[in-house]
Amino acid sequence: MNRILKNNGKICLHCDWHLSHYLKIEMDNIFGIDNFRNEIIWRYKRWTASSDSKFQSMHDTILFYAKGKIVINHQYEKLEKPKKQNINTNDKKSVRDENGKVIYHTQTERQIDDVWEIPFLNPVSKERIGYDTQKPKLLLERIIKSLSNEGNVVADFFMGSCTTGEVALDLNRKFIGCDIGDKACEISKGRLNKYNQ
Contact 112, 142 (CB under 8 A): yes
Phi, psi of 2 (to 5 degrees): -65, -40
Residue 134's nearest CA partner among 154, 163, 157, 156 is: 163
Biggest CA pair distance of the chain:
71
- With respect to residue 87, please indicate whether it lies within any of the assigned structural domains: yes
State yes or no: pLDDT of 197 exceeds 80: no
- With respect to residue 129, please indicate whether it lies within any of the assigned structural domains: yes
- Please report, for the domain that includes residue 65, its CATH number: 3.40.50.150
On whether both 69 and 131 belong to a single domain, the answer is yes
List pLDDT tens digits, range 78-122: 988 888 877 776 666 777 788 888 787 788 899 999 999 999 888
On whether both 49 and 137 belong to a single domain, the answer is yes
* Structural domain harbouring 127: 10-75+112-196
On whether both 161 and 103 belong to a single domain, the answer is no
Look at the chain and report how many structural domains it folds into: 2
On whether both 59 and 96 belong to a single domain, the answer is no
